[in-house]
Structure 1
């Protein structure tokens, strides 16, 4: 039964990736600012040598035959349970970040409350009964959230764009920041057009003293088998009065990180994809080694690994990305930040940023440390 669920998930959740054949060589004559638009009206990646031709049958065979080790935790990972009152009581004059799970982030910047890639559903899937299921609940229930000023979406995959969550937030949230084309999903789900800011790479939107700039990533988009790359994917530079943050979204490693670092760095905190990597899709997700290098390219001071610890989306053990990134960060003298889900991280507190490296994942499984580091 589990194999059937995995295969069905692969076909629907990952269908766009598995049928994707994309090259960027034909874009060499276009400017670097617009190379991600192709002649057919869709989007492509900017690296001239980018190519991804992932065949579905070998991956299906792997899902059927490959032995998994610790794909999910033996018990629920620890988390800090939050209430409406606790979020209301956060000091409004402090910049704060709370990891809610996977790539979902709550931020308080310049007194405004934001959500990034909020996924509150039980599964990252088009279906409620199959697909990647959460290892843990969100630290706070969707209907317990305080009023959210803005939502930021990196791309339209199910583990980043959740229909149920967006529909709930549609009436009460004033601003939705999305890459080009993702606005069509939000409009269909009841978000008013005047609330949506659809950004191209390098375009910005300001709310009060906070500026949000969409920046390039190397990934893909699609929520089914027939909408491949119809919408743009993005990372974000998030600038408050006192801090600069970077949110990677999903990305393979590419030269764009260096360009973003040169334009906007240094960053107080980078929230970097570290998980769901595999040898069969090396150009659209980063290995932990590449995540560290991207953080360095960005001129980041502290790095929080995200895109891990909540859903089973690849073949590696659920804790492997976290184990590897901590080991690599220690070797590279990179300040790594690994708060428990739900733990408030004060971005203005240099001591907390330098010391919040709890190995929380080791408490919820018999972690095997004999990894290929």
Structure 2
């Protein structure tokens, strides 16, 4: 019997009877994936960082150091993993601390920079926020470690992922559609649109939703974009919820642009979006760990700095961080 979307609401453009879709039609043509793989192999991509992997790690990695300060802030833990401190609470996004972004330990994208922290060295967590079910954002081993250490951890997921977490022992799960909001320990947590897709097996393509998250504390509104291509729909987040004060914006896995741009922002699009949002406090994510596309590990930050250097504003609110580094929000 064919699977039917149990959350299907025909009044919502991103719902379909058999899953979910982006608000605007984006995607690939038949044969695009094979073309990309052929071209990637023929060109020997991705290339190593300009100075090699060891030099890249020396420049862009540091061990996580925890300081329980009263101010709101964030640690970038690599790729899309961000440890947030808001309202004195600790929230963790899309943690992948394993050696591979893969369903198996012997094959798949291998991390090129080490994790800056072990689960045992994290502070007491209040919430885990997951943007979607790709292996570089939802890691089974890391989730199991987190739930063993924090068995009552509250987990926020988009529609379709609650059952996955229940099977791994999660007790407190909040499953939301785009624009749904809950009040959690004095903070408003809202699932917001992203332009992406989902797939964990050969049989579940787009059966769970993808999203970003907005966390509104007493002093600021923080947007974790998740994984997304550039779309004007992202601007409706600030229009509907209010001014974004701080944001984690993806800048990697964008090459070749003809293939990746529907689902991954490049550095130039990230800077344009940041400007359109009013240049809030921001830092780039989704780079520096896994070679998921054709660009080298150091290309995103190089192109990001070039794009930031070309804008008229002298505002330095878009800060490039090392993996493991802390930034005040």
Aligned to 1:280, what secondary structure does the other structure show?
Answer: helix
In structure 2, the partner of 1:270 is 247
Q: Which secondary structure state, in structure 2, belongs to the residue aligned with residue 101 of structure 1?
A: coil
Q: Say which of 43, 47, 57 aligns to 1:66.
A: 43
Deviations 1:180-202 (A, max 9, x none): 0011221122212xx00001000
How far apart, in 1, do the equivalents of 2:300 and 2:247 lie?
16
Aligned partner of 2:294 among 312, 315, 329 = 315
Cα distance change of structure 1 residues 108 and 54 upon mapping to structure 2, 3 Å threshold: farther
- Cα displacement (A) at 1:312: 0.5
* TM-score of the aligned structures, taking structure 2 as reference length: 0.88
Matched, 1:39 2:21: no
Change (3 A) 1:246 1:54: farther
Determine whether 1:53 maps to 2:35: no
1:202-351 mapped onto 2 (5 Å cutoff): 202-277=179-254, 278=256, 279-332=258-311, 333=313, 335-347=317-329
Of the structure 1 ranges 137-146 and 307-316, higher mean CA displacement relative to structure 2 is found in 137-146
For the residue of structure 2 that corresponds to 1:289, the secondary structure is helix
Q: Distance in 2 between matches of 1:107 and 1:293?
A: 24
Cα distance in 2 for residues equivalent to 1:100 and 1:293: 25
SS of the aligned residue for 2:39 comes to: helix
5+ residue gaps, structure 1, are 1-28, 348-373
* Distance (Å, rounded) in 1 between the aligned partners of 2:30 and 2:146: 35
1:134 shift after superposition: 1.4
Q: How do residues 72-83 of structure 1 correspond to structure 2 at under 5 angstroms?
A: 73-75=52-54, 77-78=57-58, 79-82=61-64
The CA distance in 1 between the partners of 2:210 and 2:88, in whole Å, is: 28
Task: Give 2:136's match in structure 1, choosing from 138, 148, 159.
Answer: 159
Kindly state the Cα deviation for residue 149 of structure 1 after the two structures are TM-superposed.
0.9
Contact 2:46–2:291 (CA<8 Å) still a contact in 1? Answer: no
> By how many angstroms is 1:120 displaced?
0.8
Alignment partner of 2:234: what SS? helix
- 1:30 shift after superposition: 5.9
Q: Give secondary structure in 2 for the equivalent of 1:196.
A: strand
- Alpha carbons of structure 1 residues 265 and 324: separation in structure 2 relative to 1, 3 Å: farther
**In 2, Cα distance between the equivalents of 1:68 and 1:202?**
39
> How many residues get paired?
308
Secondary structure at 1:164 match in 2: helix
Deviations 1:48-75 (A, max 9, x none): x434335332133123212335335420
Structure 1 length-normalised TM: 0.78
Q: Kindly indicate whether the alpha-carbon contact (under 8 Å) linking 2:253 and 2:260 is maintained by their aligned counterparts in 1.
A: no
- Uncovered stretches (5+) of structure 2, i.e. residues with no partner: 1-8
